[in-house]
Structure 1
Amino acid sequence: MPLSTTDTAAHIYANGLRNQWHPVAPSASLAPGAMRKITALGEPWLLFRRADGAPALLADRCPHRGAPLSLGKHLGDRVACWYHGVEVETDGTVSSVPGLPGCALEGKKLVPSLPVREVAGAILAYFGDDQHPEPVPLTLPEPLDDPDIEPILCYAEWNAPWRYVMENLLDPMHGAFLHRESHTMYDGDTTAKFRIRETDRGYFFEKTDQRGVNFDWVELCRTGVDWVDLTIPYPPSAGPGGPFGIVGMTCPVDVERTGVFFWRYRRVQGWQRDTWRFLYKTLIEERHWEVLEQDRTMLEAMPTDADQHENLYQHDLGVVRLRRLYWAQAQQQATPATPE
């Protein structure tokens, strides 16, 4: 059931961490007046827009017989189940039972409803548990909350565990090999030393002997939502704005699938903003998708138990740090086993 506190640490680690925000869908995928079924953290949800256009998220389960609400009718600020017409408000309260008006179901909050926010072209939801239902404070990545920075969201769904996608981002060295033939990561040494630099919101994993040449550093940030920030050097021919930045987030869809959210950004204003967007859409975007496809191909080809058959070395310190962080959080969120 959604918001269960009976999951084991292994289940949480595989399906996604609780008590934080996760991106669940691009805004563009949910038109005004529309609703759609999504899966997040291994659970089915109904995402729809209210009458005022704001998004809402309900467990995709009618409280009457358990039928999917996503098969029902959108009625503005409520959804009517197709099976027996039971109507549910955006906060999960049953507002009407047409077959038996005045029955005991009416007025009760029987469907889990999650807090949602829409930012920078994406819909984020807070996934708590029974002990932490109220959302934690959410601080947005600076590039998504700065009027002088132009972010462009790209979304894809990969058939790979969410942890592998995050680990790929905390592994800068793969850029010098997997992406060696790309238009941006062809330069720089194929040997390097790395270090971890702790911050008050996460940590940097960075090369000690090279900067501003390739994929040379990445920062993991935990500000209510987990995200990474990195920059790729760009030549003047790629237009104004200096280095090309990427903010990345993931949504654990289930144990084998991940929603991948990448905001590509540059610091541009005025006519430079228009130039950057034009160059991106007409020339650069296709090249960036080619790079992402290399990541997708590699991660989807890896077996789900790849992390059980590894021999790691110094370049993997960022990955090891991430795993320890996430496993400790999964253990903390799991309900202790009841003694037999």
Structure 2
Amino acid sequence: METVTNRRYSEEHFWRSRHLRLNDLKKEAQGLVNQYLFKDNIPEYPHPEFVVSHVKHDTDEEGLRCISEDNGFKDPMKDQSSGLDLLWWSLSVGPDEIKSAERRLLEKTYPDQTEEELQEQQGFLEKFTTSPAFLKSSRLGSYRFTFPLEDLLEAYREQFCSGAPPVMRVFKTILYKQEVNYVVLVHSPDQDQFSDYPLLTEDPDAVCTYRDGCFIWRPEAMSETHRYELIVGPDQMEVTELFDDNVQYYVWDNVSIALHVEDKVLDFDAGRLRENLKSCRGEIFRKRGVKYEDFPTEELVNELWPDHPSPLEKDE
């Protein structure tokens, strides 16, 4: 385990080259004082598998101006733990992904059920997908770029990999006070400096894998605040709401995609940038150092992209 204070003044405990499941993380983090990680009275909750085809990059007004000026994305400051220039994205998981994950979980748990029986059970997973990883709000600013993962990787392949497929590796597991972040490193195939990091494979037990243009995410903890308990019966899943005295606060996890960009810009057409930009709400607990605009305006966006004026939609 190593520890660093990141550029947003948060303490990171991290493990290089590993994506640690919670049980292993608890063993590795022995000696740390953490009121969330080491709880053992967490109510039962689902363990679905999400297939994610889009990624998002949140930023504030300062970052938005830089993206407009550069016509793309770059790293404004090196990653403190590795010294690398990394461009950070996170998974975009919405209602469609949650519904599909719920369906797969039911089919796996009850393989002999009919379509009608499966339909009767649907609608429970959304009660558990309540951590910041699933919220439409942002801790990093009021502007959000959302791209299809394949488009992002294609741009990276053409601009950074000379047309060759980029390489994906298990970069690190980061533990914050209540968040566990599993980081995937993406780099060009001509970089030998990353050979000590394991390749991202299709291990069925891995927290995160990549397949057919999508990330497969198997979250360890989805709720942060656990207000429900899952009861897996012989023929259906039931959800019980807990009394206030039994509500538990626990860690939650997410996946970050870190593109190695050195000091270069991942370039996109101005129209494409504007097309994939929306505003978003701020979370109550925002990252330190982030300037959040409570009322992001179309005037600013149209000033930055004058050739592509259009209403600024909300991501909600």
Length-normalised TM-score, structure 2: 0.22
Find the structure with the greater CA-based Rg.
1
Length-normalised TM-score, structure 1: 0.21
